[in-house]
Amino acid sequence: MPELPEVETVVRELRPRLLGRRLQAVSVSRHRLRKPWQQQWAGLLRGRRVAAIRRRGKWIILDLDNQVHLVVHLGMTGQLTVKMSREAAGTHTHLVFRLDRGRQELRFRDVRRFGSATVFPDSRRLEDFFQKAELGPEPFALPAGYWREQLARTTRSLKAVLLDQRVVAGVGNIYADESLFQARLHPAQRGRDTSAPEAARLRRAIVQVLNQAIERRGSSIRDYIGASGQQGEYQREFRVYGRTDEPCLRCATPIVCMRLAGRSTHYCRQCQRLK
């Protein structure tokens, strides 16, 4: 599933391709996404100019004029790209937004159809949507006191805390494993057993890992591509994720994979010792 670096890459690559342009007709496939497309949304979008493109957690937000918002979640296999209209749409393309006079299109492709696209007619309803989602702070604006408190109050593992979007938004399985390795913390360590220096170290590691991944345009493991159609490159720099039985890049101890918080979790027994 695309995580924060992949979604941020899509947002950054969409900006020069979409800002100031108008959405026109919308074509919808007969296959339903995670949320069904509502017929009235096409009328709300028609003729609206793209004023801003931003990210909240793993959500992509297109702010249109007159306070209309198009919100996209890539799900597990979603791709959001701008293509020339003459280029044939690939299979599993479920939404096509014609741009300006129709020479180019914004296309949403999703093989597994766990993604979604939703239109909010005003900013209040968009705010209500994210309030109900209970998203935590962005990793880059994670208050130190808040972070220490969240860890101190829970018996859950650090891996489970990092995956909880209500605690911190945007981090998923890949970058949780990589951040814990960077911080030299065992993924099964309980939050309340984490000292203040360890909490600070993990907080810094999250930001470092995410920034590095964004610089590499995210990780392409299966279906992910950026808005430009190019793949990410951070998967070449994984230090633990997906490296089961391979030598640790720090100490040469074989990387271990276990099931934790419902997800495959990779770590080094030597560098990330459990308290």
- Assess whether 139 carries a catalytic annotation: no
Residue 40 has pLDDT above 80, yes or no: yes
- Assess whether 8 carries a catalytic annotation: no
Flag whether the pTM goes above 0.85. Answer: yes
- Assess whether 246 carries a catalytic annotation: no
**Other Cβ atoms within 10 Å of 1 Cβ, number:** 20
**Other Cβ atoms within 10 Å of 14 Cβ, number:** 22
**Other Cβ atoms within 10 Å of 74 Cβ, number:** 25
Mean pLDDT computed over every residue of the chain:
96
Residue 275 has pLDDT above 90, yes or no: no
* CA count, 13 A, side-chain hemisphere, 268: 23
Q: Domains in the chain, please, with CATH?
A: 4-133 (3.20.190.10), 139-268 (1.10.8.50)
Q: What is the pLDDT of residues 142-201, one digit of tens each?
A: 999 999 999 999 999 999 999 999 999 999 999 999 999 999 999 999 999 999 999 999
Instruction: Identify which of 36, 29, 21, 1 has the alpha carbon closest to the alpha carbon of residue 90.
Output: 29
Residue 106 has pLDDT above 80, yes or no: yes
- Active-site hit among 48, 58, 98, 217: 58
- Assess whether 15 carries a catalytic annotation: no
- Active-site hit among 21, 201, 263, 269: 263
User: What mean pLDDT is predicted for residues 122-145?
Assistant: 97
The answer to whether residues 38 and 204 touch, using CB atoms and an 8 Å cutoff, is no
Tell me the pairing of strands 69-73 and 59-64: antiparallel
- Mind giving me the DSSP string for 34-101? SSPPPHHHHHHHTTEEEEEEEEETTEEEEEEGGG-EEEEE-TTTEEEEEEETTSPPPTTEEEEEEETT
Q: How many residues does the chain have?
A: 275
* pLDDT band at 34; cut points 50, 70, 90: very high
- Active-site hit among 3, 6, 105, 198: 3
